[in-house]
Structures are given as C-alpha cells and as structure tokens.
Amino acid sequence: MKTQVLSSQTDLALAADLLTQGQLVAVPTETVYGLAADARNPAAVAGIFTAKGRPADHPLIVHLGDASDIRQWAQDIPDTAWQLAAAFWPGPLTMLLRKAADVSDVVTGGLSTIGLRVPAHPVMQQLLRDYQLAVAAPSANPYKKLSPTSVEHVLAGLDGKIAAVIDGGDCDVGLESTIVDLTGAEVQVLRAGPISADEIALVLGREVSSPREHNVAVPGNVKAHYQPSKPLSIFNTAELASRLSHAPADVICLYLSPVFQSMAKPSWQQMPEQKADYARTLYRSLFEADKRQGSEIWLEQPPQLPSWADVNDRLRRAQHKG
C-alpha cells in the first residue's frame, strides 16, 4: 500500500472519504498524531491494531467534534463530565465514562467504559465537524515506540501500512492527553498529561487522586512504552556529570543544565527549560537522537515536580527495560 500525504488545506474531503470507506488515516491533534478509523466501523477499527501491532484488548480513545456528541457514546454521564468539558474541551483531556450499549467491543477492548476526547487541533476539528465523523485513534506509532509529533515521524513508523496521513504540521503540546476516570466514586487521573490533577480538582471543587505512576490495571497501561530504538538512560545532574567524564565517545546526550554546554558535541542537544517547551520537543528530540550516529542516549533528569508529572511519566516508560 502506498501511504498518501494529504494537505490539510485541500484534501480533507478525501481524508473523510477514506475514513468513511473504512481506511486508516493518520491525523494531527494538538497532543500527538493519531491513527484514525471510523469509530462506527468495527472492521476499520480492527485494522488499527494490525497496523500498530497493538494487542487487541487495549482500548482506544474516540475523538469527537463536539462535547454534546458524548451522549451518543456514553451513558449515565455525570455532571463532572459536563463541567470538565466546559473547562477543557476542545483540548488535551480524555474522559473515561460508562460506554453506551451499542459501542463495539473492538473500540473499548471489551471494557464497559470508553475514553472520549474533543481535540483542539483546527484541522482535526474541521475533519470531525464538517464530515460528522467520530474516529477511534491511538497515537500513530508502532506499539511501544515513540509517539509521533510530525508527518515525518508518522511515516517513519507506518509508511505503507496505512492509506494516508494528513499534514497538520508539528504538534503544539507534544505529549498525550491527560486521562481522567469519571466512572468511580473518586475522580482519578489515570495518565498524567498536559492538564494537571490540580487543574481538574479546581474546576470540580473536589479532590482528584493522581497516582505518581499510573499503575491502575488497565490494558494499554504498560511499563515499557514510548521507546526510542537506541538504549535510553536517565541520570540526575550530578550522576550525568560524573559519567560523562568516561562516557563512550558516541553517546548522544540530551541535557538541561547550562553547565554541560561547554563539553557538548554536535550530536548533543540542550533541552528547553520550560515544561511546556520541553514536552513539545521531547518525542521529537528522542526521534532525532535515534536517527543520529551514536550507540545510546543519555538524558539529564528533568525536575521532579508535580508540574512535570507527564514528562516524567513518559520518561520512566521510555527507559524501562524488559
């Protein structure tokens, strides 16, 4: 199969046609690129698992054009869902709700809950609204690999396996959405993301729990994930400084502290200091490091602060061995 690169200006009708015919199309969102299929077409959705090499019991997020569409996909919708929708949608928040009776098990991995999100990317908004689509879409990467934040990165993993990718430019946020579970007595953040548990708690006026590491037993929540091909090691500043003095010559170092500037090689990269900028560039930087000459990647550990929870969560999984 030849994967077409579609223009976000002129080719959205074609993209919508492909989706309606049951084909897979990678789509830009503000977080990362998604691998979309018509969420009402179980055969098309099944194709996502084949293209990604992802286990079939891992549930998918359904992307909608408008918050009011959640009524078609969920039941027993709590007030909290409407409050969060008003505050954060369109945007990088996925809500887990009780699924509507007619939603296919292929989408939810057989679970009784469903993940729903209204993405903010203008191209994705236009695609979903103008063509009245709902698309199931995981991140557009082969299973366990880095999530893509550009068309180049999507093609590196899925070229020849999907019908098309819409070029929506580089993703603004760069890390996957926050996942909040609204189906239990407690409101729980299951995946740290761009919207923090504190921000959610503020809107709801109640406590929101957020496990440091989201170890809730949901399929798809695996310890090894978001992985570059080269081995990745993460060291705090002092450890990195001492190891660099006898490092292999071809180590690629992604550092934060200015103290490393003086010894930096052309293959090294200084990461941004601000959390939002760091998040935007993290997957891209690991992707670029993978493409360069070098045996392994060493990364300076970012601040261990609540506001960096999503970055640190992804990095733990990116370096997990086994």
Residue numbers at the binding site for ligand TXA (CB under 6 A) = 29, 31-32, 34, 58-61, 92, 94, 96, 108, 111, 113-115, 117, 119, 137-139, 176-177, 179, 218-221
Kindly state the helix (H) or strand (E) to which residue 45 belongs, with its residue range.
Answer: helix 42-52
Choices 34-42, 48-56, 133-141, 294-302; region in contact with Mg ion by CB under 5 A: 133-141
Rounded Cα gap, residues 318 and 322, in angstroms: 11
- Which of 87, 241 has the CB closer to ligand TXA? 87
Smallest gap from Cβ 253 to ligand TXA, in A, equals 28
Residue 177 touches Mg ion, criterion: CB under 5 A = no
- Which of 12, 241 has the CB closer to ligand TXA? 12
Residue number of the CB closest to Mg ion reads 139
Smallest gap from Cβ 245 to ligand TXA, in A, equals 39
- Which of 55, 303 has the CB closer to ligand TXA? 55
Smallest gap from Cβ 171 to ligand TXA, in A, equals 9
Q: What proportions of the chain, in percent to the nearest 5, are helix, strand and coil?
A: 35, 20, 45
Q: If contact means CB under 5 to 8 A according to the sort of partner, which of ligand TXA, Mg ion, none does residue 60 touch?
A: ligand TXA
- Which of 172, 176 has the CB closer to ligand TXA? 176
Q: If contact means CB under 5 to 8 A according to the sort of partner, which of Mg ion, ligand TXA, none does residue 91 touch?
A: none
- Which of 171, 256 has the CB closer to Mg ion? 171
Tokens of 5: 């690169």
C-beta separation of 109 from 61 below 8 A: no
Q: Ramachandran region of residue 223, left (φ > 0), alpha (ψ -120 to 50) or beta?
A: alpha
Alpha helix stretches (DSSP H) within 117-227? 122-130, 151-158, 197-204
Residue 125 has phi, psi (to 5 degrees) of -55, -45
Smallest gap from Cβ 92 to ligand TXA, in A, equals 6
Q: If contact means CB under 5 to 8 A according to the sort of partner, which of ligand TXA, Mg ion, none does residue 228 touch?
A: none
Residue 139 touches Mg ion, criterion: CB under 5 A = yes
- Exposed/middle/buried for residue 68 (C-beta within 10 Å: 0-12, 13-18, 19+): exposed
For residue 249, which of 296, 200, 192, 206 has the smallest C-alpha distance?
296
Find how far residue 34's CA is from the centre of its chain.
8
Three-state secondary-structure class, residue 126:
helix
**Footprint of Mg ion (CB under 5 A):** 139
